[in-house]
Amino acid sequence: MKRILGPLSLAMLPLLLAAPVFPSPHIQFEATTVDVGEVRSEQLIQASFDYRNTGDVDLKIQGIDKSCSCIVTKASLAETKPGGLGKIEVEFVPNVPGGTVSNFVTVHTNDPERPSVELRIDASIKPVAVLTPARIDFGNLPVGATKEESINIVPVEPKDFRLGDIKSSGKCVAVSEVKATHDDKGTYVLKLRISAGDAPGQILEIVQIGTSVKGANLGLLVFGNVVSSGSNGSNQR
């Protein structure tokens, strides 16, 4: 015997055939980009991204990826209740001489519709001083030889600017002289002595230059090659 569906059964048919809807979390950020404006190269940058769980079940932060190892991140909550608020905090130091910097973090959650969200922090770097040259490539230096290089340091704001401690990250680069020229730009002249080791290889050191500006040191990259005595060195002294 055949059974005929009535009007009520026919009306419910689409609901019966529809896929079931399961409760799920949903992350909603107030903003995914923060522009911190103009900052110093060595300034600690801090930014926070607020979000809300607009879903039906707990939202879980499963991981945070970073575009740079210099970034430190922290989630205020490992789990956020439905309707609850959370925050992703980001800190980093630009450590670049100037220009625009953008760093990224990617937040991974159990939100099925949006499992990964990319957050961006923009900053314009105001240099404390301009170094000329900005880095030193001394080329090839024979084993046992030495070479001197000079760098001009011109502060962006000469008033009350002073140089502090200067040291290199390695043993091949040393400061031979620091001199203030007393010109209207407040220029300093820094002389470095580069000493080749006793074996061929590469020299790659960073000279850290302290300043009187709180939290704002300068960095100078010094690099080149130590070659055997029979090779062609360049401008050794």
Give the pLDDT confidence of 55-64 residue by residue, as tens digits.
999 999 999 9
Closest CA to 44 of 105, 92, 96: 92
172 near 184, Cβ under 8 Å? Answer: no
Domains of the chain: 24-126 (2.60.40.10), 129-227 (2.60.40.10)
Instruction: Tell whether pTM > 0.85.
Output: no
Strands 218-227 and 135-142 come out as parallel
SS (H, E, C) 126-153: ECCEEEECCEEEEEEEECCCEEEEEEEE
**Sign of torsion over alpha carbons 38, 122, 32, 62:** negative
pLDDT in tens, 141-189: 999 999 999 999 999 888 888 999 999 999 999 999 999 998 999 999 9
* Other Cβ atoms closer than 10 A to 199: 9
Is pLDDT at 212 greater than 70 in this prediction? yes
Is pLDDT at 127 greater than 90 in this prediction? no
H helix intervals, the chain: 7-17
pLDDT in tens, 76-99: 999 999 999 999 999 988 877 567
Band (pLDDT 50/70/90 cuts) for residue 219 is confident
